[in-house]
Structures are given as C-alpha cells and as structure tokens.
C-alpha cells in the first residue's frame, strides 16, 4: 500500500519535534507533523523555560539584599513585571521560531491545525483533509486540570500564570506538587503575598522525606504561608477578590487563586476509539518498552503516555522510536535512575531512591548533612542546605542522592552520571573534595547517620 507519509506525528512539543526531525533529516523519511497550538509544547511555551526564567527573576531580590551585606551600595530595587513579561514572551516567540525552522530545515511538512485518528494509518486534519502514513506517532502531551470544586472557574492554572497584565498583590496556590511549590517560590520572590494550601501532611509527596521537610521549612522561612492538611471547599467572587472557604475553617480573600492540582494526558478527541489503542484510567496511552501501542502502526511518547513526565525523557523516547522504527535498531527507553531538578527555593536535585523507598527494598546506610552555606551565612541569612546519600549495605552502591541547595539542579546532573554508572560509596570517598564548595560534603561524609 502506498502512503502519503512514512511518518505522521501528532504534537509539536519537544518529543514530537525531535522524532520528526531525526526521522526526516537523518533517515530520509517522508514526515509530516500537525500541531494545533504553539510549537515547543508545554516545556518551551508554558512550562520549563518560562518557569525557569521566572525563577531567575524572582531570585534577584534576595541577591540584592545579600549584595548589600557584602558591601555593595545601590538605591532602592523594584521589579517591573511589564518589562520582564515583554522580554519573556519575545523569548518564547524566538524559541518557537527555532522549533519551526528545525522542522522546515529537516524537510518535515507541518500543519498548524488539530489532527485526529481515523484508523491505524489515517489522520484527519481540522479542515477535513485526510492523510495516510505507514507509522503514526502521538506526542500530544498533557494539560493541567482543575479539581472540580464549586467556583473553581475563578482560579487559574499554570498555563495562565505567565500572562498576568499586572502581578497580583496576593495569591493562593492550591496543591503540593512541584508545580505548586515552584510557583509559590517564584511569586513570593517577586513580591506577591503568597499562601499555599495542600491537603497532604507534607509537600512534594513521593520524594525523600528529609528533603521535602527541609524545603517546606525554608519556604516558610522565606515568607510563604504554607498550610498543610488544608484544601479549599469552595470559591466565590467577592467585592475585593476571590473568597476562598477552606477546610481549616477560614474564609480568606485573594486576588488570584492558582490551582496546581494535577495534569492529565491530552487524549480526548484524538479518535483513539477508532483504532484499538489501549488507554489507562487517567486517559494515558498504554505502550510497551519501545513506545508501541496495541496497534502496531501507532506509537506514543511523552506525557501522553504518563510514564516519566519530563521533557528530556520525551526526547529520549522520541529518539528510541526513530532507532526502533527507522534504523532497524530496537531501542527500549531506559527509565531507570533519571536525575531530576525541582526549582523550588531552595532548589532540589534528586536521583534514585528516597530513603523511605530504599529501606523497603534492602538494608541501607544513610549519609546526610544539613548546614548553613558560606555565601548566605556571611550575608546574615539562616538558609540551610542538605546533602544526602542513600547507600546499599550489601553492594555499597549509591541508591539515591538528594541535594537541597542553590544550584542543586546543576549538581545532580553531574552526580547522576556517577550514580548511573553504578558508583559506590567508596568511589565517592576516593574523590578529592573541591574546597570550599557545598557539594564537597558529598565526598567527605565518612560515617552514616543511621542505618535501616
């Protein structure tokens, strides 16, 4: 059978663009890609990139205070949201143009409209045009969802957080995951009176208890009003803002409410019911280790599969797909020991197992230290950082590493190489410390603080 394309990709985010570009540019395949929104996906347009730029912006207030303690003199500082937002949007436009050019230069035909599946080899565009393909790759990502409580239409999600005309004077953030905690730090740093409600006993569920406990303490020290074991009952429009009734018995008024209560895969309306593709209870597409669905011609990568929802993972999955389908080199995606950074304030870098998960699997030793770093201590701040290693008693391998500190993301990237290679505690011990740094503690901790 003759097909219009060797590959049709639905979704122009990082994973879909990488797969399309490599399949066409390096393998000579005839490829098309459809994207109904902006190219670059969640990460570039409404996620990692603008968020990280906002993190940078929010940290300068603290830096200015520290600079004065180090002897620098300058006048009053203030933040111009309008100036920053204009530059932010211009940068996102620039990055989107790069993504478009990548596809164009690779010879990928693009359609700026929604696509849905008609059958195992056919997609239909929003204008009614149908295209056939030998292989179809779904890379449509996910989107934030609201909790379904009375009045939640008054709240915003992380998709809208970058588009304020003016910064609110006060905001309530509902949720305790990394998105909620990151934006709590960002908005607090930009001068917004920030309150956070989370229904659980501690923020960042699923991560190492010691690390998330320190992050929560530091967030509170930084001025964020964190209420654990608390969530909203209802919201309604008041005379001066959004009135929020909470489970802690209070009713408070906020200028804005950010609902960071979860994300779901973008599978609604894709026509998957026409194909026999299997889906999970959250709406995610079920795939095997090669990202292949129950329908042999259809593959899926990235957040739409709800495996490990990180941009670099989606890109790896896209590359694995191309290796498997177009290079004849079956390549399963390795989801083990993925280093991750959470851009809370303080930042959190982690790889491997938490202490809690590790001790469920085998006997372990914990090497951990928390201290005031030199830079901020000299400036009179009481900030604390954490360096922690989870070590197997039997193999001596590093099962987990947890860093809560400025620059933790940069550190964990390099630690991740060693841990991925199977480094032992003795390998760390043999490494000479770089002094004076925070990270030298990772190679100078000689005695476990506890075993389990």
Pair 88, 53: CB distance under 8 Å? yes
Pair 324, 331: CB distance under 8 Å? yes
* Cα–Cα distance for residue pair 90/84, rounded to 1 Å: 10
Pair 314, 302: CB distance under 8 Å? yes
Which structure tokens are listed for 347?
């930042």
pLDDT in tens, 401-426: 999 999 999 999 999 999 999 999 99
Res. 321: pLDDT tops 90: yes
What is the arrangement of strands in the sheet containing 256-259, beginning at the earlier edge strand? Answer: 225-228, 193-198, 170-174, 256-259
Res. 1: pLDDT tops 90: no
Q: Which CATH number does 340-451 carry? A: 3.30.390.30
Cis peptide before 346 (omega within 30 of 0): yes
* Cα–Cα distance for residue pair 169/163, rounded to 1 Å: 15
Which structure tokens are listed for 320?
């694995």
User: Nearest 5 degrees, angle CA 349-CA 350-CA 355?
Assistant: 135
Percentage of the chain beyond pLDDT 90 is 99
CATH 3.30.390.30 intervals, the chain: 340-451
CA distances from 15 to 47, 84, 224 (A): 14, 28, 35
Contacts 24+ apart (CB under 8 A), 321-330: 321/19, 321/137, 321/290, 321/291, 322/19, 322/22, 322/23, 322/26, 322/27, 324/290, 324/291, 324/292, 325/7, 325/23, 325/135, 325/299, 326/6, 326/7, 326/23, 326/27, 326/29, 327/27, 330/290
CATH topology of domain 5-143+264-326: FAD/NAD(P)-binding domain (3.50.50)
327: nearest Cα among 281, 376, 280, 290? 290
Mean pLDDT for the chain overall: 97
Residues 45-49, mean pLDDT to the nearest whole number: 96
Q: Which CATH number fits domain 152-261: 3.30.750.24, 3.40.50.720, 3.50.50.60, 3.40.50.920?
A: 3.50.50.60
Residues 82-89, mean pLDDT to the nearest whole number: 97
Residues 123-136, mean pLDDT to the nearest whole number: 98
Residues 273-289, mean pLDDT to the nearest whole number: 97
Residues 24-44, mean pLDDT to the nearest whole number: 96
Residues 373-398, mean pLDDT to the nearest whole number: 97
pLDDT reported for residue 18: 98
pTM over 0.85: yes
CA atoms within 13 A on the CB side of 449: 12
347: nearest Cα among 227, 229, 438? 438
Res. 35: pLDDT tops 90: yes
Work out the pLDDT band at 76, boundaries 50, 70, 90: confident
Residues 344-361, mean pLDDT to the nearest whole number: 98
CATH 3.50.50.60 intervals, the chain: 5-143+264-326, 152-261
Beta bridge partners of 194: 171
Q: Which of 89, 143, 335, 435 is catalytic?
A: 435
Is 435 labeled as catalytic in the residue annotation? yes
pLDDT reported for residue 228: 98
Q: What are phi and psi of 253, to 5 degrees?
A: -110, 130
pLDDT reported for residue 218: 98
pLDDT reported for residue 371: 98
């Amino acid at each position: 059978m003759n097909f219009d394309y060797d590959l049709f990709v639905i979704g122009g985010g990082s994973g879909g663009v990488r797969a399309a570009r490599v399949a066409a540019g390096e393998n000579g395949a005839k490829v098309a890609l459809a994207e109904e929104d902006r190219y670059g996906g969640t990460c570039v347009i409404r996620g990692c990139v603008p968020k990280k730029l906002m993190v940078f912006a929010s940290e300068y207030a603290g830096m200015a205070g520290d600079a004065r303690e180090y002897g620098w003199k300058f006048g009053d500082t203030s933040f111009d949201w309008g100036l920053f937002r204009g530059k932010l949007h211009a940068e996102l436009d620039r990055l989107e143009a790069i993504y478009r050019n990548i596809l164009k230069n690779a010879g990928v035909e693009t359609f700026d409209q929604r696509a849905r599946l008609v059958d195992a080899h056919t997609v239909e565009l929003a204008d009614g045009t149908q295209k056939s393909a030998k292989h179809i790759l779904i890379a449509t990502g996910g989107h934030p969802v609201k909790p379904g409580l009375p009045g939640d239409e008054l709240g915003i999600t992380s998709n809208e957080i970058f588009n304020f005309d003016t910064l609110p004077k006060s905001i309530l953030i509902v949720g305790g995951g990394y998105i909620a905690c990151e934006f709590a730090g960002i908005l607090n740093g930009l001068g917004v009176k920030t309150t956070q409600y989370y229904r659980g006993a501690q923020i960042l569920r699923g991560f190492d208890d010691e690390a998330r406990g320190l992050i929560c303490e530091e967030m509170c020290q930084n001025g964020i009003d964190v209420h654990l074991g608390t969530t909203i009952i209802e919201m309604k429009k008041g005379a001066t803002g959004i009135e929020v009734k909470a489970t802690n018995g209070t009713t408070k008024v906020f200028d804005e409410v950010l609902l960071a209560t979860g994300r779901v895969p973008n599978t609604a309306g894709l026509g998957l019911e026409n194909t026999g593709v299997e889906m999970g209870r959250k709406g995610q597409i079920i795939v095997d280790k090669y990202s292949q669905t129950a329908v042999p011609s259809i593959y899926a990568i990235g957040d739409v599969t709800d495996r490990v929802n990180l941009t670099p993972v989606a890109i790896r999955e896209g590359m694995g797909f191309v290796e498997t389908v177009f290079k004849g080199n079956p390549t399963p995606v390795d989801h083990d020991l993925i280093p991750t950074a959470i851009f809370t304030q303080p930042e959190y870098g982690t790889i491997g197992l938490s202490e809690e998960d590790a001790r469920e699997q085998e006997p372990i030793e914990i090497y951990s230290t928390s201290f005031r770093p030199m830079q901020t201590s000299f400036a009179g701040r009481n900030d604390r950082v954490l360096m922690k290693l989870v070590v197997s008693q039997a193999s001596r391998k590093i099962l987990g590493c947890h860093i809560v500190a400025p620059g933790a993301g940069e550190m964990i990237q390099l630690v991740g190489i060693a841990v991925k290679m199977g480094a032992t505690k003795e390998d760390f011990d043999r490494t000479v410390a770089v002094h004076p740094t925070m990270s030298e503690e990772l190679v100078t901790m000689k005695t476990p603080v506890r075993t389990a």
